[in-house]
Chains A and B, each alone.
Chain A
Amino acid sequence: MEPNQIRRAWAICKKDIRIYYSAHPVIVHGILFPFFLFFAFFIRRNLSMEFILPGLVGMTLFFTSTAIVSIIPSWETRSKTLERLVSSPVLISTIVIGDILAAFLFGVVVSLVPISIGILGGISIHHPLIAALGILISALCFSCLGALLSASPTDIPANVMTISTLIKFPLIFVSGVFIPLKDLPLWGKILASFSPLTYFVDLLRFSIKVDYYYSVGFDFLALFIFALIFYILAVRLHVRAMPNRI
């Protein structure tokens, strides 16, 4: 991609942050929703904080990185601002990258909340660099997934949210967030391998040395491949959907 398109993607990212991510309800929802969901499953299950934290961070990052990006194009289709973007000298991939970038930054920042809580709660992160890199690549991967989910050529955000929920919740349930991978039956392990969240949670568990399953390199490779597939599909589907949006 040309440098001038990268600068334009950054402009779109800043616009997304100002309009869509800075709203207080979005921030509060982004932080609180994963907490509520997580504790709904873990309460009275007598699990260690070391086991809980990676799942909590994983779900927070997963929800925050995918939620808003998936509905921005439908919002902008409805408000006719998408036509403004498409009529300017930017590629469709530039618009997609701008949206991904905003979701990535939002996800990374919000994921610091549960991590800080964990650290304040006395959890030691033995491999902070691995954890940090894991958060970065996972935020990118989940943002690309959000961009892919947003490619439906509709101007009704609720339609996209319904499709997103149908895809995202199964990805959480099969991911090993709630049960350690090593304790899953073979079919469970196979199912878990289809969720990118599996590899992020596994990386975090490695970082705090509890119940990790795959090697670090494999987790990174899987997340990278997922990100690449999601990005390529997202751009292709957005290019195909654009004539129906405007």
Chain B
Amino acid sequence: MSEDIVIQASDLTKFYGKVAAVDHIKFEVKKGEIFGFLGPNGAGKTTTIRMLTGITKPSFGNVRIMEFDIEKQTLKAKQIMGIVPEVSNPYIDLSAWSNMMFQGELYGLPNDKSKEIAAELLENFELYERRKDLVKFFSKGMKQRLILCMALLSQPQILFLDEPTSGLDVQSATIIREKLRQINKEGVTIFLTTHNMEEANLLCDRIAIINKGKIAAVDTPEKLKLMTERLQKVVVAFSQPINPESLNSLPNVDKIEKLGDKIQLHTTAPGKVIFDIVDYAREKHLDMVSLNVVVPTLEDVFIKLTEDKEKSGHGA
């Protein structure tokens, strides 16, 4: 394993009964990257992160965290990572400070060092003033920030985050994202899962798209976006039925489909197509009942990517 690679998953598979939650996936994360694992709910993101962090044993395959095999050297690998699980789980009957100190003890940090880093982190995450309060009185955003502080207390080289902004208000989510960028700048490699395409786009250097336990693509956000541009659609419904073929003359339209009383136009330039449809409606004296842009879902991207893969497979 090259020194630049800090996470390496090979043929990673997890079966629950006969169902493969994660199905022979393979990827590498480079040192200093923010690597996003993007997929819809139930895609296998949490199972993957749990296997990477040694919480769940894989059915097949292997994970290396830097020089450590996660199954054979679990404790050593865990010692160099910080983990933010999907559900906020500090001890709500302890204060924020006590949670931090407990975390320090679990990672074997000397007491003085724990106190020094904890104070700095809580200050940085705007929780220091509330450090003596029981966590049960914290908002969800505050709990999530505390969890992040707890994960950073041991000064990990790799930080794993499972849906770190899920369910948070916009302000808390923005704070968390800013902090993650800052942590990454300080040299920490970040592996995060999300179902939020925009979040992955804003944060990640590279993204793996996973669905139904399989990775469809691993690439930079910009390259993945190029793939999704082809999947944008404009859906229009007129008050009177029209022949869809009459829209064939519109520029920037790749494909036209009739869906009940609506017409769906596939395009890479939905903004331009909207103007053209409005002009068409004026020219033909038609009223529009609805006009919508359908943004591609992850499912669309995944289906598109897997279709492309299958086609290239057949062609080979």
Q: Say whether A associates with B.
A: yes
The answer to the question of A48 belonging to the interface, with a C-beta cut-off of 8 Å to chain B, is no
How far is A243 from B89 in the complex, measured between Cα atoms in Å? 18
Which A residue sits closest to B77, measured CB to CB? A89
How far is A24 from B32 in the complex, measured between Cα atoms in Å? 49
Contacts of A91 on B, CB cut-off 8 Å?
75
A7 and B75 contacting across the interface, CB-CB below 8 Å: no
Known: A7-B108, A80-B89. 4 other contacts (CB 8 A): A8-B105, A18-B98, A81-B91, A83-B55
Question: What are 24 A-to-B residue pairs whose CB atoms are below 8 Å?
Answer: A7-B105, A8-B105, A8-B106, A10-B105, A15-B91, A18-B93, A18-B98, A79-B89, A79-B92, A80-B87, A81-B89, A81-B90, A83-B55, A83-B85, A84-B85, A86-B55, A87-B78, A88-B78, A88-B103, A89-B75, A89-B106, A89-B108, A243-B56, A246-B50
The answer to the question of B79 belonging to the interface, with a C-beta cut-off of 8 Å to chain A, is yes
Q: Which of A8, A11, A80 contacts B85 (CB 8 A)?
A: A80
How far is A84 from B102 in the complex, measured between Cα atoms in Å? 11
The answer to the question of B94 belonging to the interface, with a C-beta cut-off of 8 Å to chain A, is yes
Which positions in A face B, CB cutoff 8 Å? 4, 7-8, 10-12, 14-15, 18-19, 79-81, 83-91, 243, 246
Contacts of B91 on A, CB cut-off 8 Å?
15, 19, 81
How far is A19 from B92 in the complex, measured between Cα atoms in Å? 9
How far is A81 from B99 in the complex, measured between Cα atoms in Å? 11
Which B residue sits closest to A80, measured CB to CB? B89
Q: Which of B54, B55, B90, B108 contacts A4 (CB 8 A)?
A: B108
B89 and A84 contacting across the interface, CB-CB below 8 Å: yes
A89 and B94 contacting across the interface, CB-CB below 8 Å: no
CB distance from B78 to the nearest CB of A (A): 4
CB distance from A39 to the nearest CB of B (A): 33
How far is A5 from B282 in the complex, measured between Cα atoms in Å? 76
A88 and B107 contacting across the interface, CB-CB below 8 Å: yes
- Residue among B55, B57, B74, B105 with the highest chain A CB neighbour number at 10 A: B105
Knowing A4-B108, A8-B108, A80-B85, the reply to whether A15 touches B102 (Cβ < 8 A) is yes
Knowing A89-B78, A246-B56, the reply to whether A11 touches B106 (Cβ < 8 A) is yes
Contacts of B159 on A, CB cut-off 8 Å?
none
Q: How many B residues are at the interface, by size bracket?
A: 20 to 34
A19 and B56 contacting across the interface, CB-CB below 8 Å: no
How far is A116 from B246 in the complex, measured between Cα atoms in Å? 97
The answer to the question of B83 belonging to the interface, with a C-beta cut-off of 8 Å to chain A, is yes
Which B residue sits closest to A4, measured CB to CB? B108
How far is A11 from B107 in the complex, measured between Cα atoms in Å? 10
How far is A4 from B75 in the complex, measured between Cα atoms in Å? 11
CB distance from B34 to the nearest CB of A (A): 20
The answer to the question of B193 belonging to the interface, with a C-beta cut-off of 8 Å to chain A, is no
Contacts of A14 on B, CB cut-off 8 Å?
102
Contacts of A18 on B, CB cut-off 8 Å?
93-94, 98
Which B residue sits closest to A79, measured CB to CB? B89
How far is A169 from B28 in the complex, measured between Cα atoms in Å? 55
B92 and A87 contacting across the interface, CB-CB below 8 Å: no
How far is A18 from B91 in the complex, measured between Cα atoms in Å? 11
How far is A90 from B94 in the complex, measured between Cα atoms in Å? 20
The answer to the question of B165 belonging to the interface, with a C-beta cut-off of 8 Å to chain A, is no
Knowing A19-B93, A79-B89, the reply to whether A85 touches B106 (Cβ < 8 A) is yes
Contacts of B105 on A, CB cut-off 8 Å?
7-8, 10-11
A87 and B102 contacting across the interface, CB-CB below 8 Å: no
Contacts of B55 on A, CB cut-off 8 Å?
83, 86-87, 246
The answer to the question of B228 belonging to the interface, with a C-beta cut-off of 8 Å to chain A, is no
The answer to the question of B53 belonging to the interface, with a C-beta cut-off of 8 Å to chain A, is yes
Knowing A4-B108, A15-B91, A81-B89, the reply to whether A87 touches B53 (Cβ < 8 A) is yes
